[in-house]
Structure 1
Amino acid sequence: MKTNPGRFFEDYRLGETIRHAVPRTLSGGERALYHALYPQRHAIHSSDDFAEACGLPRGVLDDLLVFHTVFGKTVPDVSLNAVANLGYAEGRWLRPVVTGETLTATSEVIGLKENSNGTTGVVWVRTTGRAGEGDPVLEYVRWVMVRKRDPGAPAPEPTVPTLSPMVSADRLIVPGGLDFTGYDFALAGEPHRWGDYDVGETIDHVDRVTVEDAEHMLATRLWQNTAKVHFDATHRDDGRRLIYGGHVISLARALSFNGLANAQILVALNGGAHVSPLFAGDTVCAWSEVLEKAETAAPGVGAVRLRLVAHKPEAPAGQLRTEGGKYLPGVLLDLDYWALMPV
């Protein structure tokens, strides 16, 4: 058999390292398409001149563009037969990626646990994205619910990894040369700096975007994400193509510009959950909560930890859970991350 049906739950082995195909060289084309797919306006990734004025090289690519590219490499080996991508933890961007660099990825299986229904199981992997000759640029953990090929196949001994609830501020990597002392707030689009945000503050990003099939299908192809649930309408009982969770992340991040235009660079992904599915025709809104703030050694640069929530219009901004602790209906994404902004 020369075709690849993808891995099923019983095909994974604890501790194995998977080397993913296919290397991907990123150009200005990917950069332009990213900005076409999402209403993305953060200045460092929109303007080479702005990035250079902040001490970064020209052609710096959006942090989530790098994430999607690495994530897409892993799909044929990790989530081709997934029911759902469940969450993220311990993610760090290790250095900026610029146009012309080639990315590869590897994943280590760090956890396995069969579900009680006997037809699916959860797989935890730690993925590393590398540039050039193997220079790490991104690392993260994710866990995925994967179908079993044979419900009668014996289950492995359950191993659930212990993961940090967040990346501590002292482990954040600030890009070399970053300097916000001469930051141009007028060109960036908003006057709000690190000191203007209070822990516990919530920000309704106001803007909304209705998702269409064409854009999310183009995005999924762009990242070479081959998961069946995103392409094959016959793969789900309801006959609908599930929108890639990363598409929701980028939409929400782009919407967050209105209120967080100066949260320029993502440096850590503390945790995240795709709470409910999104389909073509649905409308996405977003709000953020300031969770924590930290100083950095870089000139003029502060770190802010944010909760980014994507939701449908029926879920009110600023509210996440019911009194019983469950997510409110209409909540799509609950994402916890660190970003860098001028002090």
Structure 2
Amino acid sequence: MIKTNAGRFFEDYRLGEEIIHPVPRTVKMGERALYHALYPARHALYSSDVFAQDCGLPFSPLDDLIAFHVVFGKTVPDVSLNAVANLGYAEGRWLRPVWPGDTLRSQSTVIGVKENSNGQSGVVHVRTTGLNQHDEAVLEYVRWVMVKKRDFASTAPMAVVPNLAKVVAPGALVIPQGLDFTRYNFALSGEPHRMRDYAVGEVIDHVDGVTIEEAEHMLATRLWQNTAKVHFDATQRPDGKRLIYGGHVISLARALSFNGLANAQMIVALNAGTHANPCFAGDTVRAWSEVLDMVETDAKGVGAIRLRLVATRGAAGELRGLDGKYLPEVLLDFDHWALIPI
């Protein structure tokens, strides 16, 4: 009897199937320390209990992307162990803060399957929910993955591609209970800019760049218990390179965005996300943001700003060529809502 897990292939997925992902993970302050060592992350709400308490929270929660990485990592052995590429995200919402000591687990539902025209792979859509030890949902999102077929001759399933919202409606954003920015300390946050200081269409060059090293991306990917072969095994790609985990690029770009968006404190929704081109060790990653929308919320002093965050090896503001396709320098296109003082 075979006891090891070679991972699922495209023909192993069934529409409507519900997958309970092992293994639950208790997250504590060690995750924050490692996260802040791996990325230049310094948003004040995720750095200081005192700052968070002045903003109406009991203490500082764990970084929003720590929650994302932990929940995502649980899904990899069942969803993307044999992935060719992680293609995109939609309909993501952070539903409640993750506190040190919480235990997170993940479950997914297969909502779409479509074989590629080459007959060698297919695209699988899943809706994933992250839950805490109280069975409360902390995060939900849809992602789609290109997965290898085990048997190229196997019959293709009926194609089903879900119709996904292009943006999370402002009214569906979940504001953490008690969040209040009326006593917000701009001197300690690092920048004076409120929501009203930004304009729709404004492009912000985050200036700094970080060169990705092989060891640090593998450390990060192991930290989130992401076991996808393409991140560790150099024989998985014809070019002999390890693919940088896309979440590593997301966190790096988010951390770089502090310079110009220090007060965009909490990510609360993921409208759309695309890993436009592969990233490899040795690449120097820079970031820029475009302001897409702004709304006020019901929480005191709290606004929501919709941002396109782009990670690139190129210049700020450059996204697509004349053919409408992403430029080869663009690594990530990440459309999200963040909470910011009005």
Instruction: Give the TM bin, normalised by the shorter chain.
Output: over 0.9
- Counterpart of 1:184? 185
SS at match of 1:34: helix
SS at match of 2:234: coil
Q: TM-score, normalised by structure 2?
A: 0.99
1:136-151 to structure 2, matched below 5 A, reads 136-151=137-152
Residues 57 and 98 in structure 1, CA contact (< 8 A), matched pair in contact too: no
- Counterpart of 2:338? 339
CA deviation vs aligned residue, 1:216-240 (integer Å, no higher than 9, x gap): 0000000000000001011111111
Report how far residue 20 of structure 1 moved: 0.1
CA deviation vs aligned residue, 1:113-158 (integer Å, no higher than 9, x gap): 0000000000000000000131000000000000000001111100
SS at match of 2:114: strand
**Cα distance between partner residues in 2 of 1:247 and 1:120:** 25
- Counterpart of 1:329? 328
Matched letter for residue 244 of structure 1: Y
Matched letter for residue 267 of structure 1: V
Report how far residue 58 of structure 1 moved: 1.7
SS at match of 1:220: helix
What CA RMSD, in Å, does the superposition of the two structures yield over aligned residues?
0.6
Residues 173 and 268 in structure 2, CA contact (< 8 A), matched pair in contact too: yes
Report how far residue 57 of structure 1 moved: 2.4
Report how far residue 324 of structure 1 moved: 1.9
SS at match of 2:291: strand
- Counterpart of 1:98? 99
**Cα distance between partner residues in 2 of 1:31 and 1:41:** 11
**Cα distance between partner residues in 1 of 2:105 and 2:124:** 21
**Cα distance between partner residues in 1 of 2:59 and 2:72:** 24
Matched letter for residue 318 of structure 1: G
- Counterpart of 2:18? 17
1:193-204 to structure 2, matched below 5 A, reads 193-204=194-205
Report how far residue 330 of structure 1 moved: 0.4
SS at match of 1:206: strand
1:250 equivalenced with 2:255 (yes/no): no
- Counterpart of 2:39? 38
- Counterpart of 2:8? 7
Report the count of equivalent residues: 341
Matched letter for residue 183 of structure 1: Y
1:223-262 to structure 2, matched below 5 A, reads 223-262=224-263
Matched letter for residue 260 of structure 1: L
Report how far residue 328 of structure 1 moved: 1.4
- Counterpart of 1:212? 213
Residues 21 and 105 in structure 2, CA contact (< 8 A), matched pair in contact too: yes
User: How high is the sequence identity, in percent, across the aligned residues?
Assistant: 72
Q: TM-score, normalised by structure 1?
A: 0.99
Report how far residue 56 of structure 1 moved: 1.2
**Cα distance between partner residues in 2 of 1:223 and 1:45:** 18
Report how far residue 316 of structure 1 moved: 1.9
Which range is displaced more, 293-302 or 55-64? Answer: 55-64
SS at match of 2:235: coil
SS at match of 2:25: strand
SS at match of 1:50: helix
SS at match of 1:207: strand
**Cα distance between partner residues in 2 of 1:235 and 1:86:** 18
Unaligned runs of 5+ in 1: none
Residues 211 and 282 in structure 2, CA contact (< 8 A), matched pair in contact too: yes
- Counterpart of 1:53? 54
